[in-house]
């Protein structure tokens, strides 16, 4: 099952692009689930259809739903807390789903829970997410790093069952003083979040498409968002411009030209009406947007898997001068402007040498 994530600073255009793509793909034979991540849930209004938290079959190859993040995460929490054991986590077992707080990135976390269920059913070839916004998507990708940092700071745990000497010596409550069963839920939660983030990684085939207007192409925020999404491992193939080609200036055409050899998304320019209408019309809008072809472009970027001791980040508009690398507690801390990632590379803890190289707009990190 492939995943397409539509994101934008304009919710209506974002939903229109996701809906047109879903209807067009379904008419071409793909089994599609369109999931509105919210919070606006505009898809139902654009279709004139009432949607809920469970997939509703609209036609033989198309189903749609609206995701309620609190309900999705609360449902998973009910499963997790039932498995908790030990006196240390007694209070956690008493916390009900209605007590869980809202947190940054919860929309994307809930979307990944839906993706897990959809994959397990085997009913769909393509899952299209309408949302979340670029900022929410970026925060959700950074969440596992924050949790791993907190667990290491408090308990001295690095990765898996790992307890490096440095982390143990500087921890607030060393894990050696606490029963392993008491810490297992925290480690399980961390591992689950990191596994979910990996499912959005470009290597898995997941693609993110940002929807903009011709005027927005000039804004620094769009380029900064593209850079941040790539920095966190997300792959973008198309930048959908809702308008006419004549409205796109020459500078933007050059910046996103496939002839430049960079890793930037290519422009897909076309009118994108947002008037509510029926599925037939939305399918026609999708056919016009994709020139009546497949929704995946021939130039769609590939993210070939590399060895476990190497990471490649494809970062559009990356300025190498704003790049900074450091080794902290056996992790590689990568900073790019205001963005930061903590990357685990096996081999560093065993004394391997960290190597880094910038190749155009690709950052390579590996251990020798």
pLDDT tens profile 306-317? 667 888 899 999
Residue 77 has phi, psi (to 5 degrees) of -65, -35
Report yes or no: 333 and 340 within 8 Å, Cβ to Cβ. yes
The CA-atom distances, in angstroms, between 110 and each of 145, 273, 341 are: 18, 29, 22
In this prediction, residue 72 carries a pLDDT of: 78
Query: Of the candidates 254, 289, 324, which is a domain's last residue?
Result: 289
Cα separation, 106 vs 76, in Å, equals 13
Greater pLDDT, 176 or 17: 17
In this prediction, residue 68 carries a pLDDT of: 84
In this prediction, residue 87 carries a pLDDT of: 56
Q: Please tell me whether residues 169 and 97 are part of one structural domain.
A: yes
The average pLDDT across 335-357 equals: 84
Q: For position 260, which CATH number holds?
A: 3.40.50.300
Percent of the residues in the chain that have a pLDDT greater than 70, as a whole number: 71
Pairing of strands 266-270, 236-242: parallel
Let me know if residue 297 belongs to a domain: no
Helix (H, G, I), strand (E, B) or coil at 33: strand
Cα separation, 283 vs 344, in Å, equals 44
Other Cβ atoms less than 10 A from the Cβ of 236: the count is: 24
Cα separation, 99 vs 87, in Å, equals 20
Residue 252 has phi, psi (to 5 degrees) of -65, -40
HSE-CB of 105 using CA atoms within 13 angstroms: 16
Quick one: CA dihedral 26, 236, 326, 350, positive or negative? positive
- Flag whether pLDDT at 140 surpasses 90: no
Pairing of strands 2-7, 56-59: unpaired
Q: Please tell me whether residues 126 and 201 are part of one structural domain.
A: yes
Let me know if residue 305 belongs to a domain: no
Cα separation, 168 vs 336, in Å, equals 29
Query: Of the candidates 289, 320, 342, which is a domain's last residue?
Result: 289
In this prediction, residue 304 carries a pLDDT of: 64
Domain total of the chain: 2
Q: Please tell me whether residues 271 and 321 are part of one structural domain.
A: no
In this prediction, residue 160 carries a pLDDT of: 44
- Comparing 131-145, 167-181, 343-357, the range with the smallest average pLDDT is 167-181
In this prediction, residue 286 carries a pLDDT of: 96
Q: Please tell me whether residues 326 and 241 are part of one structural domain.
A: no
Q: Please tell me whether residues 113 and 227 are part of one structural domain.
A: yes
Q: Please tell me whether residues 20 and 106 are part of one structural domain.
A: yes
The average pLDDT across 113-134 equals: 89
Pairing of strands 331-336, 207-212: unpaired
Q: Please tell me whether residues 23 and 132 are part of one structural domain.
A: yes
Of all helices (H) and strands (E), which one includes residue 325? strand 323-328
The domain in which residue 193 lies consists of 2-289
pTM for this predicted structure: 0.85
């Amino acid at each position: 099952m492939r995943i397409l994530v539509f994101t934008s600073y304009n919710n209506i255009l974002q939903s229109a692009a996701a809906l047109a793509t879903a209807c067009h793909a379904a008419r071409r034979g793909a089994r599609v689930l369109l999931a509105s991540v919210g919070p606006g849930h505009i898809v139902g209004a654009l279709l004139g259809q009432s949607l809920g938290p469970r997939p509703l079959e609209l036609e033989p190859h198309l189903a749609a739903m609206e995701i309620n993040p609190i309900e999705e995460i609360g449902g998973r929490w009910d499963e997790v807390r039932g498995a908790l054991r030990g006196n240390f986590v007694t209070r956690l077992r008493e916390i009900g789903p209605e007590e869980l707080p809202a947190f940054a990135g919860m929309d994307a976390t809930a979307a990944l829970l839906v993706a897990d269920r959809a994959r397990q059913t085997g009913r769909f070839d393509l899952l299209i997410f309408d949302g979340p916004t670029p900022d929410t998507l970026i925060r959700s990708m950074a969440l596992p790093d924050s949790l791993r940092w907190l667990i290491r700071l408090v308990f001295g745990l690095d990765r898996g069952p790992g307890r490096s000497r440095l982390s143990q010596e500087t921890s607030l409550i060393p894990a050696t003083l606490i029963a392993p069963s008491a810490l297992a839920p925290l480690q399980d939660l961390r591992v689950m979040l990191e596994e979910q983030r990996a499912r959005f990684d470009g290597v898995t085939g997941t693609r993110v498409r940002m929807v903009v207007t011709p005027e927005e192409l000039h804004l620094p925020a769009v380029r900064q968002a593209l850079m941040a999404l790539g920095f966190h491992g997300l792959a973008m193939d198309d930048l959908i411009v809702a308008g006419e080609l004549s409205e796109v200036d020459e500078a933007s055409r050059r910046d996103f030209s496939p002839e430049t050899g960079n890793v930037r998304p290519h422009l897909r320019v076309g009118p994108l009406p947002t008037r509510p209408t029926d599925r037939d019309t939305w399918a026609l809008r999708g056919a016009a947007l994709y020139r009546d072809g497949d929704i995946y472009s021939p130039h769609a970027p590939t993210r070939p898997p590399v060895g476990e001791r190497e990471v490649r980040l494809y970062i559009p508009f990356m300025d190498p001068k704003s790049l900074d690398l450091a080794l902290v507690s056996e992790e590689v801390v990568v900073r790019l402007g205001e963005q930061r990632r903590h990357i685990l590379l096996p081999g560093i803890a065993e004394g391997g040498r960290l190597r880094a190289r910038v190749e155009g707009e690709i950052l390579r990190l590996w251990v020798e």
